[in-house]
């Protein structure tokens, strides 16, 4: 049985240039990683929860912002891990410096007995699409392509 996650890819136009909001994962495993580490805000779908409802909940939990409006379905992608991620795009401008993420606890260093608490997303930033293609995890690049194609076809 596959694990399902859902997320929202915010986009905006700044000086007529498309930008997307990505989040950098928090915690010690990701602290020094940049290219290929960023992600759309997303998380696991709860039992009995629709993927879109899960995407909205996870977006709020990981950024502190609500995601409401006209969603553009971006479909789903199977990640290298086997997880299936469902995504929607939403045109909305937020101040990336003001994200407030929920946290998780982790023993770090491993086997040390020390438990640390980290934000799920330690920072967010807006990227133009060429930059986002470098920053985003490779399993999610297809969502950028689907957003660009949808907007090209007038899906705004």
pLDDT for 109: 87
pLDDT for 23: 98
Note the pLDDT tens digit of each residue in 89-117: 999 999 999 999 999 999 988 999 999 99
pLDDT for 60: 98
Domain extent at residue 19: 4-152
CATH of the domain at 63: 3.90.79.10
Say how many domains are in the chain.
Answer: 1
Mean pLDDT of the 45-61 span: 97
Band of residue 155 on the pLDDT scale cut at 50, 70, 90:
low
Instruction: Look at strands 72-78 and 121-128 and give their pairing.
Output: unpaired
Note the pLDDT tens digit of each residue in 135-152: 999 999 999 999 999 999
What distance in Å separates the CA atoms of residue 17 and residue 56, rounded to the nearest whole number? Answer: 25
**Burial class of residue 142 (count of CB atoms within 10 Å of its CB; 0-12, 13-18, 19+):** middle
């Amino acid at each position: 049985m596959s694990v399902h996650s859902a997320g929202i890819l915010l986009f905006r136009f700044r000086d007529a240039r498309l930008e997307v909001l990505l989040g950098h994962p928090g915690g010690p495993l990701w602290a020094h990683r940049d290219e290929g580490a960023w992600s759309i805000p997303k998380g696991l779908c709860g039992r009995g929860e629709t993927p879109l409802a899960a995407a909205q909940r996870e977006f709020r939990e990981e950024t502190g912002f609500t995601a409401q409006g006209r969603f553009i379905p971006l479909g789903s992608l199977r990640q290298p891990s086997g997880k299936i991620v469902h995504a929607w795009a939403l045109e909305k401008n937020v101040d990336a410096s003001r994200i407030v993420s929920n946290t998780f606890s982790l023993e770090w260093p491993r086997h040390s007995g020390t438990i640390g608490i980290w934000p799920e997303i330690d920072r967010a930033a807006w990227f133009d699409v060429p930059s986002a293609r470098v920053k985003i995890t490779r399993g999610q690049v297809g969502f950028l392509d689907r957003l660009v194609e949808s907007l090209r076809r007038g899906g705004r």
